[in-house]
Amino acid sequence: MNKQSVDIFILSGFLGSGKSTLLKELIQLERKKGRRIGVLMNELGEISIDSAIIPSDTPLKEMLNGCICCTIQGELSLQLNLLIEEHELDVIYIESTGAAHPIEVIDACTHPILASKVNVKAVITVVNAKQWYEKKMSIKLKKFMVEQVKYADIVLINKKDQVEESVLSLIKESIKEINDQAIISIVSFAKWNPSFLDVKGQTQEVSSTKFVDDNHNSHVHNHLHLRTVSFPVNQAIDRIQFLHWLERMKGQLFRAKGFIYLKETPGLFLFNYAYGEPVLERYALDKKYDPVLVFIGEDIDRVDLEKGLRKLQAKIVCSNKLDSF
Ligand SMILES: Nc1nc2c(ncn2[C@@H]2O[C@H](COP(=O)(O)OP(=O)(O)OP(=O)(O)O)[C@@H](O)[C@H]2O)c(=O)[nH]1
């Protein structure tokens, strides 16, 4: 017997805009509705940090160390197919890397092996309000973020807590100028009430015209080439020194994340750095992770980073070695 087709939502948005935060919210909302959810994640780098937020009983496929755009588009179709074949699901959320173009993800979801199995419902693009408003980025990066908005069915202007109330309407207007079809919501921590998503007829289907307008072929050439480097962090580090070091790296880093131990407080910390804002949170979920830091940027220098990190760890006296926790 043929299975019913699975709804697909594609979460797009630049690095650190809040896609994983949104995913966490959506998983909770879908669970309340009793829908069976699967998740497919694509992260740059060899280590998945974002998957730590996915409840362990949620079917999950991860694609690491490559961006959907250039290296693993075929892999995405395959993993999606596996997820559908291995589990009875109502909906799958795809969190693409912040460097993926939505069209490339849609392309992978509409591969012939999937055609009768999926129903691509919407591209949801998350925008970091402050980053969008300040526009402190290269022209290439600006163009890229515009593309992510242009192909969205829903745009969430996230992190409204980080900008003045008065600029929110300006941000909304500028987004409407790029895409006047999308549903736009202004949110904080991706708190959103997407009740219309499952009301038949109201969710915008991803229009087939999106595949033929513009010069679709150029996307592959336009996408960003980001460098990702990761390091194990074998010793606890000093929070203040770490934050100062990050401050000096501002401008070079688009995004950083990882798990670390801190000198002054026992226990593992989840570290997030997006658009110059570092956040350290106690990590107390059910999965175990080795301490590691992942850095993403356009021109980042592995040797420099390594040197800096080594210095930070060297400042720690031996008694603070990890195994003392
Ligand atoms: N102040 C503030 N921080 C937020 C908000 N939403 C998310 N964050 C934080 O921003 C950081 C990055 O959020 P993520 O959800 O991991 O971003 P992402 O888009 O999944 O990041 P990548 O997967 O690396 O592209 C985390 O520390 C979040 O807690 C918000 O509305 N306000």
Fold exhibited by the domain 6-222: Rossmann fold (3.40.50)
Say which CATH topology domain 227-324 has: Hypothetical Protein Yjia; Chain: A;domain 2 (3.30.1220)
Which are the contacts of 301, defined by CB distance < 8 A and separation ≥ 6?
A: none
What is the per-residue pLDDT for 119?
85
Which pLDDT does position 319 carry in this prediction?
35
- Atom from ligand 1 closest to the CA of residue 126: 19
CB of 255 shorter than 6 A to ligand 1: yes
Question: pLDDT tens, position by position, for the chain (325 residues)?
Answer: 456 789 999 999 988 999 999 999 999 999 988 999 999 988 766 667 777 778 888 998 888 766 555 556 678 888 899 999 999 999 999 998 777 778 778 877 877 778 778 888 888 999 999 999 998 888 888 888 998 999 888 999 999 999 999 999 999 999 999 999 899 999 999 998 876 565 433 333 443 333 333 333 333 334 455 677 888 898 999 999 999 999 988 877 878 888 899 998 888 898 999 888 999 998 876 567 788 888 877 778 889 999 999 999 875 443 333 332 2
Beta bridge partners of 157: 127, 186
CB 292 within 8 A of CB 230: yes
The residue length of the chain stands at: 325
Token digits for 171?
Answer: 């941000």
Q: Which atom of ligand 1 is nearest to the CA of 158?
A: 31
Residue ranges of domains in the chain? 6-222, 227-324
Strands (DSSP E) contained in the chain are 6-13, 37-43, 60-64, 91-95, 118-128, 154-158, 183-186, 227-232, 255-261, 268-274, 277-282, 292-297
- pTM tops 0.95: no
Pocket test for ligand 1, best of 168, 226, 272 (most atoms within 8 A of CB): 272
Adjacency order of strands within the sheet including 292-297: 227-232, 292-297, 255-261, 268-274, 277-282
Does 17 contact ligand 1 (Cβ within 6 A)? yes
Backbone angles phi, psi at 65, to 5 degrees: 60, 45
pLDDT of residue 209: 32
